[in-house]
Amino acid sequence: MSPVKEIRVRDFMINKPVVFARDTDLLDAVRVLVDRRIAAAPVVDERGNLVGLLTERDFLRAALVAGYHGESGGCVGDYMSCDVHAVNADDGLLDVAMRFVETKRRQFPVMEDNRVVGLVARRDVLRAVLDAFAPSR
């Protein structure tokens, strides 16, 4: 059996991801994304339920609005992606790899017991595959 078939999302996801609230200032949120070199962060409500995802693409959309209309800022909730697809912490590596291939998504929030527990990006999947096939040292 391939070593990749045994790997679960929880084995390679980003634990304790940065999360934002809808009312977080957009520029503050983007500053966090840039400073931490991350491409996206889940957005949660006051109960911790996933309500959106703030991505670099969302901020670029906000920058275009600011550039054309002279309006800067706003809140994360004004620009976040609401059509969020998530994966489960127990999903297999191959299942998540297939979802990345079949969609334009670059990252997925990772859920467990209806709570965000991580974030997984395409690069995390690639790293997990490389690690699985790396010769033992």
Domains of the chain, residue spans: 3-133
- Confidence tier at 12 by pLDDT (50, 70, 90): very high
pLDDT above 70: residue 13: yes
10 Å CB burial of residue 76 (0-12, 13-18, 19+) is buried
- CA–CA distance, 97 with 120 (Å, rounded to integer): 10
Reading the block at residue 31, the tokens are 């500053």
Tens-place pLDDT, residues 22-81? 999 998 999 999 999 999 999 999 988 999 999 999 988 888 877 776 666 789 999 999
Question: Which pLDDT value is given to residue 75?
Answer: 92
Neighbours of 58 (CB within 10 A): 21
pLDDT above 70: residue 130: yes
Give CATH for domain 3-133. 3.10.580.10
